Amino acid sequence: MNFNTLKKLIPQIITIVILVGVVAYFWSNTIINMEYYGYEFGYDFLSKAASFDIQFSLIDYDGSSPYFRAYLVGLLNTILVSVLGIIFATLIGLFMGISRLSPNYLVSKLAEVYIEVFRNIPLLLQLFFWYFAVLRTLPLPENAISFGQSIFITIKGVYVPKFIWTNFNFFIVSFILAIIVSFFIFSYAKKQRENYGKHFPAFWVSLGTIILFSGSGFLFGIVNLTFEYPEIYNLTETVFNYRGGVTIIPELLSLLLALSLYTSTFIAENVRAGILGVGKGQKEASSSLGLTPAQTLRLVVLPQALRIIIPPTTNQYLNLTKNSSLAAAIAYPDLVLVFAGTALNQTGRAIEIITITMGTYLTLSILISIFMNWYNKRIEIKEK
């Protein structure tokens, strides 16, 4: 072994020793303290009854369900607000980013103001603003703001009609079939375009297919859709409430608003960076071919810009998912509030619960980034 290899090896060995030493120290410290304070490590609490109710849940849950089910409720609520938040943030961000580059002075300035305001105020403050300052000032149920007598906005929540299906399975199956058929339509159109230069109106044909397939259920009377409208009733002589329909609690609404608006500003800036990053020559070439600015944006610039936009936007999606844990500040029953809050307090199993919660967020983030990386690779421009 000559001196050069030794020079490279020694710092690595020292680092490993230090790393192992630090981990071992924390490990033994935890074990010693657990013995000292009589803390018994174990995951058996997950099968014990939770004994507390949760305000909002996507699956069946009540207090007699085990803690594991409470964990699932919290997890699903976190996923719900994250997915919705990601969708809204992307749409708003895309729109704002493109507006920022509009040649129209008013449009681009408004977009700039929006981005600067919602980007620079801390997320927690925005959340408090939406929840305490805005949604708290909504009227009581008796004076609700209503749209067409079917949507009601009150301080206790937003009430919308509920979809009541008969034979929902038939509808879903026909819908999925239509989607599969439209995949084939699109690939057929692509082949026509690439091999023969012929234009096939794939979008309209597949839209028609979807409508036809899904509508067939209604046409033959197999599928039916009615609505259950929210209606006001007396809790007491002077206190009113709504029942029926679907309730969107103000906690979910304000968290969604805060997360979407805040994250959309970062996505808007990513979009702007992406579009500006496409060579000016591309825009000039496409307009010299006779494409309108809208077509240029859609067919030439954006596809290339996506390669620049996607990696930092993946970051923003991960941030949004993790920021959803701020729900604990406003009583939205997400994973942190339900599991790392109430369940932790009732069982006292701090170490186990926090490890599970950290592991869950880690898994969610990894799943999102795997998906985004796959998508990024798929739309890569392959050098021919």
* Residue ranges binding another protein (CB under 8 A): 27-28, 31-33, 35-39, 51-55, 63, 132, 136, 140, 155-156, 233, 235-239, 241, 243, 250-251, 328-331, 333, 337, 341-342, 344-348, 350
Shortest distance, position 121 Cβ to another protein, whole Å:
20
Q: 60 or 237: whose CB is closer to another protein?
A: 237
Beta bridge partners of 165: 225
Pick 97 or 141: Cβ nearer another protein: 141
Q: Which is nearer to another protein, 121 or 155 (CB)?
A: 155
Closest separation in Å from C-beta 360 to another protein: 18
Q: Which CB, 250 or 274, lies closer to another protein?
A: 250
Which helix or strand (DSSP H or E) is residue 163 part of?
strand 162-166
CB of 43 to another protein, least distance (A): 13
**Shortest Å distance, C-beta 168 to another protein:** 25
Q: Name the residue nearer to another protein (CB basis): 35 or 380.
A: 35
Q: Which is nearer to another protein, 93 or 250 (CB)?
A: 250
CA 150/CA 131 separation, integer angstroms: 24
Reduced 3-state DSSP string for the chain: CCHHHHHHHHHHHHHHHHHHHHHHHHHHHHHHHHHHCCCCCCCHHHHCECCCCCCCCCCCCCCCCEHHHHHHHHHHHHHHHHHHHHHHHHHHHHHHHHHHCCCCHHHHHHHHHHHHHHHHCCHHHHHHHHHHHHHHHCCCHHHCEEECCCEEEECCEEEECEEEEECHHHHHHHHHHHHHHHHHHHHHHHHHHHHHCCCCCHHHHHHHHHHHHHHHHHHCCCCEEEEECCEEEECCCCCEEEECCEEECHHHHHHHHHHHHHHHHHHHHHHHHHHHHCCHHHHHHHHHCCCCHHHHHHHHHHHHHHHHHHHHHHHHHHHHHHHHHHHHHHCCCCHHHHHHHHHHHHHCCHHHHHHHHHHHHHHHHHHHHHHHHHHHHHCCCCCC
Q: Which is nearer to another protein, 74 or 97 (CB)?
A: 74
Q: CB 107 → another protein: shortest distance, Å?
A: 37
Nearer to another protein, 66 or 208 (CB): 66
- Shortest distance, position 305 Cβ to another protein, whole Å: 42
Tokens of residue 337, six digits: 């509030």
R_g (Cα) of the chain, nearest Å: 27
**CA 280, CA 278: separation in Å to the nearest integer?**
6
Q: Least distance from C-beta 329 to another protein, angstroms?
A: 7
Tell the smallest beta-carbon distance from residue 157 to another protein (Å): 9
Instruction: Return the number of the residue (136 or 191) whose C-beta is nearest another protein.
Output: 136
CB-nearer residue toward another protein: 268 or 340: 340
Among 70, 40, 46, which residue's Cα sits nearest to residue 58? 70
What is the token pair recorded at 343?
């369940």
Smallest gap, in angstroms, from Cβ of residue 169 to another protein?
A: 29
Q: How far is the CB of 151 from another protein (least distance, A)?
A: 19
